[in-house]
A and B are shown apart, each in its own frame.
Chain A
Amino acid sequence: MSEPVRGVVVAHGDLAAGLVSVVAAITGDHDTLVGVSNRECGGDGLLDRLRTAVGDGRAVLFVDLPGGSCFTAGARFRHERGDTPVVGGVSLPMLVDFVMHPELAVDVRIEHAVNAGRRAMKVMGT
């Protein structure tokens, strides 16, 4: 069994809370994910929120928009705490997969979740 790893969802506005809530509703898991919003805080403030959300444990940061303030804060956190991967372009299928596979090693689990997110993108009719 791999050590418990928290998924910290970092996103604009209410997106993180919404994603975390829906993942819990789908999977029944209320413990793996925590949401962090960038609402009403600058770059340093968001970094503080990440420190609080991650605490002393291991975590993977899932951020919404590569190049946005959440991604930048995640990258700064990773610089500070080198053991924290940052995944951009978070989606609901990606998070559901992450939550459903705690048995995987962190690197494999991330790849599995990212692939689930990619596979979930479908276009019907153009």
Chain B
Amino acid sequence: MSVVLTRVDDRLIHGQVVVGWGQALVPDRIVLADDAVAEEQWEHDIYRAAVPPGIETAFVSVEEAARRFAEWDRAPERTLVLVGSIEACLRLCAAAPGVRAINLGGIHQADDRRQRLPYLFLSESELAQLEGLEERGVTIVAQDLPTSPAVALDELA
């Protein structure tokens, strides 16, 4: 059934992902694509504990996620892909042309960021980079939960 959601969320696997999106999309697999987490078995154990039984959890680097994205997109399983930052999202999209849509979930406060939505803070640079990505054909929508309004990128400026 392919990749059903590719999401940027700096909390990675947490309640909104597992409960909110999990109930709506019923994924068979959650891919956590994060270079640091991929290296640490103890972090796998923590995040895996948050995932209900029956859902496979894969921990990969962003590079591996990009390499395997097409494979997941062709597979019969429903896959939800998570990255933890705009930077990782841009690397994923640059190396995986199959990524056609990005969901902006929780991206939180940092020094140079401005609040765009209650759950979304972006710097001007990050916004510009996302606009560039959208110009290359990737649909970008902010939406923390399936029941929340979807907000287009041009409404975040």
- Chain A residues with CB under 8 Å of chain B are 12, 38, 40-46, 65-69, 71-72, 75-76, 79
- Would you call B12 an interface residue if the criterion is a C-beta within 8 Å of the partner chain's C-beta atoms? yes
Across-interface contacts of A40 in B (CB, < 8 A): 108-109, 115, 118, 121
A69 & B43 in contact (Cβ 8 Å cutoff): no
Whole-angstrom distance from the CB of A52 to the nearest CB of chain B? 15
Q: Nearest residue in A to B34 (C-beta to C-beta)?
A: A43
Q: From known contacts A72-B47, A72-B50, infer whether A67 and B15 are also in contact, taking CB-CB under 8 Å.
A: yes
- Chain B residues with CB under 8 Å of chain A are 10-15, 18, 42-43, 46-47, 49-51, 84, 106-109, 115, 118, 121
Q: Pick from B18, B106, B109, B118: contact of A67, CB below 8 A.
A: B18
**Complex Cα spacing A75 to B12, Å:** 14
Q: From known contacts A44-B10, A45-B108, infer whether A79 and B42 are also in contact, taking CB-CB under 8 Å.
A: yes
**Complex Cα spacing A71 to B106, Å:** 17
Work out how many contacts link A and B, with CB atoms closer than 8 A: 53
Whole-angstrom distance from the CB of B156 to the nearest CB of chain A? 16
A67 & B43 in contact (Cβ 8 Å cutoff): no
Across-interface contacts of A12 in B (CB, < 8 A): 15
Q: Pick from A45, A67, A76: contact of B14, CB below 8 A.
A: A67
**Complex Cα spacing A43 to B110, Å:** 12
Across-interface contacts of A44 in B (CB, < 8 A): 10
A69 & B107 in contact (Cβ 8 Å cutoff): no
Highest count of chain B CB atoms <10 Å: which of A46, A66, A72: A72
17 interchain pairs, CB-CB under 8 A: A40-B108, A40-B118, A42-B84, A43-B84, A45-B10, A45-B108, A46-B11, A65-B15, A67-B14, A68-B15, A69-B14, A69-B15, A71-B50, A72-B13, A72-B47, A72-B50, A75-B49
**Complex Cα spacing A75 to B13, Å:** 13
Highest count of chain A CB atoms <10 Å: which of B47, B50, B107: B50
Whole-angstrom distance from the CB of A90 to the nearest CB of chain B? 15
B46 & A72 in contact (Cβ 8 Å cutoff): yes
B108 & A72 in contact (Cβ 8 Å cutoff): no
Across-interface contacts of A71 in B (CB, < 8 A): 50
Across-interface contacts of A43 in B (CB, < 8 A): 10-12, 84
Q: From known contacts A42-B107, A43-B84, infer whether A66 and B49 are also in contact, taking CB-CB under 8 Å.
A: yes
B11 & A72 in contact (Cβ 8 Å cutoff): yes
